Amino acid sequence: MSLSVWFVVTPNVLLLDYAGPAEALRMAAELAGDEGRAGNGEPTSAMVLHTCAPVAQLSTSLGVGLGGLEALPGRLPPQSLLIVTGNACEAEDYARPEALAVVDWLRCAPRPDTRVASICSGALLLAAAGLLDGRRCTTHHSLIGALQAAAPSAKVEENRLFVEDGPVLTSAGITTGIDLALYLIERHAGAELAARVARRLVVYQRRSGNDPQLSPWLAHRNHLHPAVHRAQDAIAQDPARSWSLAELAGRAHVSGRHLTRLFAEHAGISVVGYQQQLRIARARELLADR
């Protein structure tokens, strides 16, 4: 099922707030399109990205311009994902007419089935639009007090990478937008695709104690050894198969003894333990779908 993703940017947008999660989602769409196609030839689990703003061009935190922006849509497609990015100078920038126009738009644009997310100080725009009232949320650690003042009825949480409360997700500062994007990819298209995107981005899967539990499909992948990743990719693609050590070593292009050592050193788990973990995860998914 195709997912329509709408990034909302305002003047002086913090470029990494936008580019980090946007690249993660773009890569997910690219990888899904390359490997999964429906009977009509269309990509499966596709993500269609849009970047919109009250103006066609605006400045960024690095001084370069961002152009070719779409207008704020009058009506979002069903089951869209809306992502509001942050700014470099929140108080000054959020008093500008463009930001106020976004707040007005946010009050009426989301549908009942729209999932709304914010990166960093973008939570302040959600708060101004009333979208955080009564909800658990978070933002950059330097803006916790400002968010509490902007949304007095919200339950603002500190020391969190991101918080999900119903259809609203808020993330902490800057690079946590990538963590949030990987989580959204997993929710929409599965953990295997999220893991492949994380590998391409060369990022670690981070979670704090109260964040959503790390998927077993993403666990033990926060390393950079290509041979171990090749073996893990093979297991993930067919977890029900009775993989022998020799077969996996062949996929990894190393000896079986060496693969055993590499798994323990880099993945922190045995080859057999990793296979069992993914078999259990797959079995639970099948039971949940019944």
User: For residues 42 and 2, which has the higher predicted lDDT (pLDDT)?
Assistant: 2
Q: Domains, the chain, ranges and CATH?
A: 3-193 (3.40.50.880), 220-289 (1.10.10.60)
The enclosing H or E element of 155 equals: strand 155-156
pLDDT at residue 34 tops 70: no
- Which of 229, 236, 258 is CA-nearest to residue 245? 258
Neighbouring C-beta atoms of residue 73, cutoff 10 Å: 15
Q: What would the pLDDT profile of 240-272 be if each residue is shown by its tens digit?
A: 999 999 999 999 999 999 999 999 999 999 999
Q: What angle do CA 72, 78, 84 make, to 5 degrees?
A: 40
Among all chains, which residue has been given the structure tokens 């195709």? 2
Residue 35, pLDDT score: 54
Alpha carbon of 279 to those of 33, 102, 238: distances in Å?
Answer: 26, 46, 9
Q: Read off the pLDDT band of 205 (50, 70, 90).
A: low
Residues sharing a CB contact under 8 Å with residue 250, sequence separation 6 or more, in sequence order: none
Please compute the mean of the pLDDT values over residues 210-227 and round it to a whole number: 77
pLDDT at residue 38 tops 50: no
Q: What would the pLDDT profile of 82-117 be if each residue is shown by its tens digit?
A: 999 999 876 777 888 999 999 999 999 999 999 999
pLDDT at residue 223 tops 90: no
SS3 242: coil
* Integer Cα distance of 7 and 135 in angstroms: 22
pLDDT at residue 173 tops 60: yes
* Integer Cα distance of 184 and 252 in angstroms: 29
What is the pTM for the complete model shown?
0.77
